[in-house]
Amino acid sequence: MNHNVWEDGFFKIDPECHIIGDMGPVNHFPGVQMWWRAIDGIMRPTLQGAPDHLLNMIEPWEMTKSTDPENILRAMDKYGVDVACLLPESMMDTTGYSSRWCTNGDAWKAVQTHPDRFIIEPNLSPIKQRGVKNAIWEMEYWMEKGAKIFKYYSPEDTYINDPELWPFYKRAEELGAVLCMHTGFSWVPPGKSKYCHPTQLDDVARDFPQLKIVAFHMGYPYSDALNMVALGHPNVYLCLSLLVPWALTAPYKFAHILGEAIRFVGPDRIIWGTDSAGYGAQIGAASVGLLDFQIPEELQWKYGYLPLTDEDKRKIFGGNLGKLLGIDTTKRRGG
């Protein structure tokens, strides 16, 4: 890792920095317990193959779950992340739709602690379950307060291409919202994986060609399908969130994911992200992972992948999302 993370030249914007809040009041729900068991399972495919230098880089505080925004900022400063979009977890399916884990109001409060480094990313989920008109009202409310980027987590709600959501997408397009969507698989039951297959985005992107869609997690494990959707729809952006640690623990696997994405859509519509949820180590692994990564020459030769340039990394780390959100990425915000 660069001895001065603010000299690497890459303005970094994280579009998926979760805040969870106090889980104590909801931990008794069976769905919440199911969710946390799944998180334990995610640790294996994420950390298997981790090199010693990665483990030595991580300090004890980074492996301790924290709900304090100051802990997020501490990790951002350590790893040179300029801006984080604070995204509150909804996960109402885990509580039988009785409670949210963390509200958009909680996220707004956290953003105010460091408005130069944090921006709010309201979670509008679920949309169908609570009523499309209610979701539209809340999107309009937060846009009046300056929000530009939003999250829709379909696994707790309905299919991405459910026709009943069309009025919501239409309004999001009219308002110029950047809409981030979970795609691929629900890693955490009770969320339903059938609701987030990336081919469902094809219908949305076709009917709302001006709606800026950011597909989280590269549609994994259906990344090839998402690449084909994005190939035909220039309003679809691919986000590496959750998968970037594989640049350190499974570099050939990550090289295929990133190499294929660049082949189909180019470096101008790929966005970095951490998918962090209270652990500084997640921010660290995602930051260092892309910073030092290069597509192995063997894969460049075998698959025709292009080498990753500093300009590619500059776009992926923050340049592409900065353009969508109107953020000046020429001047770093830390250090």
Mean pLDDT of the region 194-215:
98
The Cα-based distances of 62 to 27, 65, 223, 333 in angstroms read 23, 8, 30, 21
Q: How far apart are CA 183 and CA 217, in angstroms?
A: 6
The Cα-based distances of 303 to 225, 238, 256, 257 in angstroms read 18, 20, 9, 12
Mean pLDDT of the region 275-289:
94
Q: How much is the pLDDT for 50?
A: 87
Among 147, 17, 175, CA closest to 81: 17
Percent of the chain with pLDDT over 70: 99
The SS3 assignment for 193 reads helix
Q: How far apart are CA 313 and CA 263, in angstroms?
A: 15
Mean pLDDT of the region 237-264:
97
Model pLDDT for residues 29-53, shown as the tens digit of each residue = 999 999 999 988 888 898 888 888 8
Among 218, 215, 188, CA closest to 201: 215
**Residue 65 confidence class, pLDDT cut points 50, 70, 90:** confident
Mean pLDDT of the region 207-215:
98
The yes-or-no verdict on residue 132 having pLDDT over 60 is yes
**Residue 3 confidence class, pLDDT cut points 50, 70, 90:** low
Higher-scoring residue by pLDDT: 50, 202: 202
* Cis ω for the linkage preceding 190 (within 30 of 0): yes
Model pLDDT for residues 221-235, shown as the tens digit of each residue = 999 999 999 999 999
Model pLDDT for residues 78-131, shown as the tens digit of each residue = 999 999 999 999 999 999 999 999 999 999 999 999 999 999 999 999 999 999
Q: How much is the pLDDT for 56?
A: 85
The yes-or-no verdict on residue 5 having pLDDT over 70 is yes
Q: How much is the pLDDT for 287?
A: 96
Percent of the chain with pLDDT over 90: 88
Q: Which residue has the tokens 């495919």?
A: 45
Comparing 15-19, 41-45, 313-317, 323-327, the range with the smallest average pLDDT is 41-45
Among 87, 93, 142, 80, CA closest to 118: 87
DSSP string, 250-280: -HHHHHHHHHHHHHHH-GGGEE----BSS-H
- pTM of this prediction? 0.97
Q: Which residue has the tokens 């997690």?
A: 217
- CB burial of 222-247 (b: ≥16 within 10 Å; e: otherwise) equals bbebbbbbbeebebbbbbbbbbbbbb
| Average of per-residue pLDDT values in the chain | 95
Q: Which residue has the tokens 């259906």?
A: 222
